[in-house]
């Protein structure tokens, strides 16, 4: 068996937390192959999961097992590190880096540098994989003095999230409007909620029947975070001026069952995202597999599941969009979004065109039945192609290939450690 050390924000309410738990669930499907150990880490200011359920209890048992193993000087055959590449390190004979946060046109030089200590990288989308592979910087070779291309040479794969449908739990939205768009996004530069609110008001200012529900927070789901979110929210809404259309803030933690209830609520008619870029776009994915029409920027990771391949009469496959596409232009990311060694100032984002946002919102409002029919077609495809069985099997396939040469890798690592001493 392969002793696998899974390090990631497994207990946090974050995208990387969800990603970490997906990897753990994949490992657990092959307990005959993987001997699992875990190390939970925090993720920024996001809250930790507090539910007491079977998965959490099993996780606590794995954590106790891991602590005992480390205290007994036990080794690991493989590490899987689910985090931004800045934090990757050599922890075992084989090291796999798993990352999702590739939301711009290039990755940083630091990410390329850190990728060299890994044996394989697994991203969350085809977009993320291609950005990582195609990022090239110019560097000077210390030995020759020549200018050379600096890019990663580590194998990169991508594995999506699986469909995880829950039984919808009824929630009381307490909204006056009968036709509501939903946005699920933190209030920050990349999610671009400010533009969505302004554009929505400009399009439906005099229509009291239409609403926009913002399911959001700043970082945590605490009372303090609610107050901070509310201040930002009110400032953006106030700048829009007088209006009859409705805008609602939905703050706080919702369980998977309650989120299912939100996506399927009879007053929620479509999910809209004016994002500048996504590594994957989990809320878009969830809305899709619950059958909700989707309006989104036509760029980055979410295109993996919002386009489907259809065979033409000539036998060739063609990508067909199953969502309302918002046109965009590419430009450098916003100054306030620059993050040293993570998001570079020269990286680009998609900037949605306001006219395209308005047109798509209006079309769905006027002809909702047509878009709901297309959404049902997307839902069927997602539930067939992104099953837990298929996704977990893909993870296992990318990991088990190291099983045959594990003994050799362990010997090499041991010899390296002896030499370094």
Decide: 88 and 114 in contact? Cβ < 8 Å: yes
What distance in Å separates the CA atoms of residue 78 and residue 94, rounded to the nearest whole number? 5
Percent of the chain with pLDDT over 70: 94
Q: Which residues pair with 317 in a beta bridge?
A: 311
Alpha-carbon dihedral sign for residues 334, 337, 338, 344: negative
* Residue 202 pLDDT level (bands cut at 50, 70, 90): very high
What distance in Å separates the CA atoms of residue 367 and residue 403, rounded to the nearest whole number? 54
Domain 2-162+388-420 has CATH 3.40.50: yes
What distance in Å separates the CA atoms of residue 4 and residue 78, rounded to the nearest whole number? 5
What distance in Å separates the CA atoms of residue 166 and residue 187, rounded to the nearest whole number? 26
Query: Span 116-126, mean pLDDT?
Result: 97
Query: Span 96-110, mean pLDDT?
Result: 95
Within 13 Å of residue 246, how many CA atoms lie on the same side as its CB? 19
The whole-model pTM stands at 0.92
Decide: 3 and 413 in contact? Cβ < 8 Å: no
pLDDT at residue number 297? 98
What distance in Å separates the CA atoms of residue 127 and residue 124, rounded to the nearest whole number? 8
pLDDT at residue number 224? 77
Token pair, residue 61, equals 């048992």
Choose between 277 and 43: higher pLDDT. 277
Residue 221 has pLDDT above 70, yes or no: no
What distance in Å separates the CA atoms of residue 103 and residue 310, rounded to the nearest whole number? 27
* Residue 419 pLDDT level (bands cut at 50, 70, 90): low
Walk across the sheet containing 179-184 and list its strands.
246-251, 210-216, 179-184, 268-273, 294-297, 324-326
| Cα 123 to Cα 201, 300, 310, distances in angstroms | 37, 13, 25
Token pair, residue 93, equals 């004979």
pLDDT at residue number 187? 87
Q: Which tens digits make up the pLDDT trace of 343-362?
A: 999 999 999 999 999 999 99
Choose between 161 and 216: higher pLDDT. 161
DSSP H helices, 193-330, are 193-204, 223-238, 256-263, 282-289, 303-306
* Residue 313 pLDDT level (bands cut at 50, 70, 90): confident
* Residue 240 pLDDT level (bands cut at 50, 70, 90): very high
pLDDT at residue number 81? 98
* Residue 227 pLDDT level (bands cut at 50, 70, 90): confident
Decide: 264 and 243 in contact? Cβ < 8 Å: no
Query: Span 153-182, mean pLDDT?
Result: 95
Per-residue burial over 170-179, b if 16 or more Cβ lie within 10 Å, else e, is ebebeeebeb
Q: Tokens 């990631």 map to which residue? A: 8
Hey, is 152 helix, strand or coil?
coil
What distance in Å separates the CA atoms of residue 158 and residue 98, rounded to the nearest whole number? 9
Largest Cα span, the chain: 75
> Which CATH superfamily, name and number, covers 179-385?
Glycogen Phosphorylase B; (3.40.50.2000)
Residue 416 has pLDDT above 60, yes or no: no
What distance in Å separates the CA atoms of residue 194 and residue 187, rounded to the nearest whole number? 8
Residue 148 has pLDDT above 60, yes or no: yes
Q: Which residues pair with 318 in a beta bridge?
A: 310
Percent of the chain with pLDDT over 90: 78
Hey, is 46 helix, strand or coil?
coil
Contacts of 103 (CB under 8 A, 6+ apart): 190, 276, 277, 278, 279, 300, 301, 349
Query: Span 296-312, mean pLDDT?
Result: 94
Which has the minimum average pLDDT: 36-50, 111-125, 144-158, 376-390? 36-50
| Cα 278 to Cα 102, 105, 222, 256, 305, distances in angstroms | 7, 11, 25, 21, 12
Q: How many CB atoms lie within 10 A of CB 244?
A: 13
Indicate the angle between helix axes 193-204 and 223-238, nearest 10 degrees. Answer: 50
Query: Span 103-120, mean pLDDT?
Result: 96
**CATH code 3.40.50.2000 region(s) in the chain:** 179-385
Query: Span 368-381, mean pLDDT?
Result: 98
What distance in Å separates the CA atoms of residue 297 and residue 278, rounded to the nearest whole number? 10
pLDDT at residue number 53? 84
What distance in Å separates the CA atoms of residue 9 and residue 43, rounded to the nearest whole number? 6
Query: Span 92-118, mean pLDDT?
Result: 96
| Cα 49 to Cα 11, 14, 245, 284, 385, distances in angstroms | 5, 10, 35, 22, 29
pLDDT at residue number 316? 81
What distance in Å separates the CA atoms of residue 296 and residue 196, rounded to the nearest whole number? 11
């Amino acid at each position: 068996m392969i002793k696998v050390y899974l390090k990631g924000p497994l207990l946090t309410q974050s995208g990387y937390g969800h990603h970490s738990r997906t990897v753990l669930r994949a490992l657990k499907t092959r307990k005959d192959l993987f001997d699992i150990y875990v190390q939970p880490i925090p993720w920024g200011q996001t809250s930790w999961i507090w539910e007491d359920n079977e998965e959490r209890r099993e996780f606590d048992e794995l954590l106790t097992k891991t602590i005992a193993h480390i205290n007994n000087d036990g080794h690991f055959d493989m590490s899987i590190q689910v985090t931004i590449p800045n934090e990757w390190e050599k922890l075992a004979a084989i090291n796999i880096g798993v990352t999702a946060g590739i939301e711009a046109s290039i990755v940083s030089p630091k990410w390329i540098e850190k990728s060299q200590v890994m044996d394989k990288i697994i991203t969350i989308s085809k977009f993320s994989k291609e950005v990582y592979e195609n990022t090239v910087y110019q560097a000077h070779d210390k030995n020759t003095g020549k200018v050379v291309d600096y890019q990663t040479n580590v194998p990169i794969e991508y594995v999506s999230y699986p469909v995880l449908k829950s039984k919808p739990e009824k929630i009381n939205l307490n909204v006056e409007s009968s036709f509501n768009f939903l946005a699920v996004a933190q209030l920050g530069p990349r999610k671009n909620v400010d533009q969505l609110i302004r554009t929505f008001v400009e399009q439906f200012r005099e229509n009291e029947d239409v609403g926009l529900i913002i399911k959001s927070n700043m970082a945590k789901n605490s009372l303090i975070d609610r107050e901070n979110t509310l201040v930002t929210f009110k400032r953006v809404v106030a700048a829009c001026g007088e209006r009859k259309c409705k805008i609602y803030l939905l703050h706080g933690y919702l369980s998977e069952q309650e989120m299912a209830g939100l996506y399927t609520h009879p007053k929620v008619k479509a999910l809209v995202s004016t994002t500048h870029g996504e590594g994957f776009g989990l809320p878009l994915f969830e809305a899709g597999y619950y059958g909700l029409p989707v309006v989104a920027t036509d760029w980055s990771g979410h295109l993996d599941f919002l386009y489907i391949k259809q065979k033409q009469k000539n036998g060739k496959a063609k990508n067909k969009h199953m969502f309302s596409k918002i046109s965009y232009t590419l430009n450098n990311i916003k100054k306030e979004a620059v993050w040293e060694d993570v998001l570079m100032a020269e990286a680009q984002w998609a900037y949605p065109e306001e006219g395209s946002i308005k047109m798509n919102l209006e079309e769905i409002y006027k002809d909702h039945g047509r878009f709901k029919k297309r959404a049902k077609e997307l839902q069927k495809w997602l539930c067939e192609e992104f099953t837990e069985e298929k996704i977990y099997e893909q993870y296992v396939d990318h990991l088990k290939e190291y099983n045959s040469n594990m003994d050799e890798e362990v010997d090499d690592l041991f010899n390296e450690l002896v030499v370094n001493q």
